[in-house]
Structure 1
């Protein structure tokens, strides 16, 4: 709805219910105070009735899944790079920047294949698709789903991932220079802040629900420093991206490089880049939060968490043993180090001539 339509509805709530200052911080960001809107939660007076007429044009268009595959030697272990095209309108930031990043990764992978290279380990699937029709096949073979959701909507890197993959995110972002060089030589990791939260939405959530490690990343919008991002509106256009969000298209390049390197690590490393100790840290934090809630009650209600604490301690010792075994497996004397094909792939992704700004504009449709 436009502001013109919304303002009368919000004004009808004045002096009705809690004021925004009594609610959480998300109520504080409204910008309609100049129209007298105080942002109260209601409910409104009983004699106020809203009549709404909604016209919907129902159509049945054909939907296409776009899938590319790169076969490795382990065909029952699949790594998926995914994004989906679901723009409400032009969608240059969401999700056009995702599609552009995927196209560039395909081009970088393809450059290696054309030179006779490829992946020496796992089967890779690169997809702009709805995963559900293929779910039974995917759930039995997928070792990781590496997703991008809003590759460039601003300048602030974010990552949502299964705890198993948090250390991989930090490792890869430490290798990539930050577009923002306000501090000379800083990496994406330096400017980002290391916080990897557990995934909470999008396609990746379906994989996580079935116990498949997932990772979602991108450059999100920070309203304090970035140009206004008109999410899900007709203003999310290539012109907006060109003029305001990413005029040099450097953030697009960096997003694709980070995404591609994470995918390459999954597909090409003989040992999957999992870290169990990080998982225990997250579980420990959740249990501690539950303990704080219990201790904060004053109604005599009590739940003993000792069995849960013991289980977490056992998990910790198992994780330490697991990670130590992984380190042992990665020793060159135990398992063959990364294949030259893998080195060629990561070089292709990192190389600025393989993923470069001008190419990106050919993957976006002007509006």
Structure 2
């Protein structure tokens, strides 16, 4: 049960990091950096894909390792009736994407147009024999107002905190303090900043987390030469990871309530399933190719290597590939995965790490898909 809750928590937390429609923090990032939302989406694309690759591989291997059977055929609904009953559901989503990325409308206007389309479709077509009426529209408006009030209250409280920090100079002092602790060492600063982001983010909603971290932590990263969008993506990732990091992992605890599992055990399992989110921010700070910045060829090479690397490290963590792995097998998968995960220009020696990882990966594929089947054949 705790694994099921952990997978749910990691998957739902990642939804705020996954384009094309990310969490509210991504829209705030565009405002902070004075860039188009589409640029934030582009930067977030590769990290979010890697995030879900690692989660999918681990969830799949956990199911195999636990001998979970697939859903019986007679319980799987036929695709025809399902598509026929809800063929129009993608229309509002498509309208939102088109408004945001083709017509470059503001997020507010795009959401409004999409909402109008939802209401019109609900009134005309409905779903399963029920159409939206005026009482439903009024109820939706009321619930929207309640949600907006919560966001405004959070924003107001965070604004007061930020105002006090700026007036008193504490915000600037924290920036200097972080830089001084690091002593000019980039890795130390990143580790300390990650810890600060997780601690400050515990128990807070995502909007408040991002605004606070963008004011307190991001300036320290930018001060030592981190690319602006990389710095803000870094704090957003670790701010979000507070949702699945004990002792205050509100995302994992909510999932534990649904599954009836122990909250702390679910939280630690969520950290295991979401391991890549704790690693990839360091990767894209070291190399902006994972943020879609730079030469397209290098971006493609780093992306493919990172996908295989995320897959292999996940296999090593689960201890299962086509069969259960021994210590040597797990070590080989881990070394290969770490080597391939390292972007080519992230650190000195990254190219050699990639070559070693690639060589081991080729050896693994040859053994698992060519040699092992041959050995299994009789005669």
TM range (shorter): under 0.3
TM-score (norm 2): 0.25
Looking at secondary structure, tell me which structure has more helix per residue.
2
